[in-house]
Amino acid sequence: MTDRPLTLMAVHAHPDDEATGTGGVLARYAAEGVRTVLVTCTDGGCGDGPGGVKPGDPGHDPAAVASMRRRELQESCEVLKISALETLDYADSGMMGWPSNDAPGSFWRTPVEEGAARLAELMRHYRPDVVVTYDENGFYGHPDHIQAHRITMAALEMTELTPKVYWTTMPHSMMRRFGEIMREFNEDMPEPDPAEVAAMAEIGLPDDEITTWVDTLAFSGQKFDALAAHASQGENIFFLRMGKERFGELMGTETFLRVRDTAGADVPETDLFAGLR
C-alpha cells in the first residue's frame, strides 16, 4: 500500500470531448477523492469560430479558435473538478477527408510513436490506476479520436504500468433513445438517409456487450455545465436545449468497454475502480 491517490487518466482528442464522453465519471470520481487527470491531444482549432464561423469559411482563424477553446477547456475542468489538465497541443486534424488531415503539425499525421512517447511520460508521472480513451474507430471515425486511441494503447506498451483500460462506448438502446429525443426536439428534421442509419447502427455496442455501466446521474448537472462551458461549439447546443433534467435522463449513465483488467473484477461492473478499492 502507498499514499499515492487512486488516479483516473482520460485521454481525449479535443476540448469538449472530456465533457460529452466522460464528464460524469470525471466529476463522480473527483467527488470520491480520486485524482482525475485529463490529457487533451489537440488544440481544437478546427472547431467553430466566433459567431459559428466554420473551418474553411472566411474569417475562420484556427489560432484564435484554439485560444478560445483552451479557455473553455479550463472552465470545463474547473466545473468537473479535474485535478490536472495536460495538453499535447497538436493541431486539430478536422473531420476525416478534410485537407487539414495532412496539414503540418496535425495530430493525424503525427507519428504514433512520437505522440505515444509524450503520453507515456505523463503516464509514468501520474501512474494512473484507470485509463480511459476511445476504441480503434474513435467511436465514430474521427481521425483525432482514432489517433488518440492509437497513442494511448502504444503508450501503455511503452510503460511498466498495469492500469485497468477502458474504451468509451454507447449501448445500442441508448443510441436509439438519443435518436428519438433528437426527433422530439427537431420536429422538422427530415427522414435520415438509409446509409446514415446504417452507419449509426455501427456506432456503439449491443447492450449485452457493454462491460461497465457507471451511474453518474448525480453529477449530470456538472456534466451539463461543463458542456455549456464550450459555448463556442454549435454542436453542443442540442444537448443544452434539453435542460438539465432531460439531459440527465439521457446522459446520466456512462458506459465503457473494459479491454484490460488487472484487478480481477467481474463484469458487468458499475465502477471503473472495481477491484482496486
pLDDT digits (tens, 9 = 90+) for 263-274: 999 999 999 999
Q: CA nearest 84: which of 46, 47, 121, 35?
A: 35
Q: Is the pLDDT of residue 13 over 90?
A: yes
Q: For 166-205, how does the pLDDT look when each residue is reduced to its tens digit (9 = 90+)?
A: 999 999 988 888 777 777 766 565 666 666 556 666 788 9
Distance CA 203, CA 135 (A): 11
Distance CA 208, CA 112 (A): 32
Q: Is the pLDDT of residue 8 over 60?
A: yes
User: What are the CA-CA distances from residue 65 to residues 52, 75, 247 (Å)?
Assistant: 11, 15, 27
User: What are the CA-CA distances from residue 149 to residues 10, 59, 156, 166, 189 (Å)?
Assistant: 11, 32, 11, 11, 33
Q: CA nearest 249: which of 198, 177, 192, 188?
A: 177
The strand pair at 84-90 and 164-169 is best described as unpaired
What strand order describes the sheet that includes 35-42?
Answer: 84-90, 35-42, 7-12, 130-133, 164-169, 253-260, 212-215
Q: Is the pLDDT of residue 25 over 70?
A: yes
Distance CA 50, CA 68 (A): 9
Mean pLDDT of the chain: 91
pLDDT category, 1, cuts 50, 70, 90?
very low
* Residues facing 38 on adjacent strands: 10, 85
Q: Is the pLDDT of residue 11 over 90?
A: yes
What would the mean pLDDT of 34-50 be, rounded to a whole number? Answer: 95
Q: What is the pTM of this model?
A: 0.92
Q: For 99-153, how does the pLDDT look when each residue is reduced to its tens digit (9 = 90+)?
A: 999 999 999 999 999 999 999 999 999 999 999 999 999 888 899 999 999 999 9
Residue 55 has what pLDDT? 87
Q: Is the pLDDT of residue 233 over 70?
A: yes
Residue 51 has what pLDDT? 79
pLDDT category, 256, cuts 50, 70, 90?
very high
Residue 198 has what pLDDT? 61
Cβ neighbour number for residue 277 with a 10 Å cutoff: 11
SS3 percent helix, strand, coil of the chain, rounded to 5, is 45, 15, 35
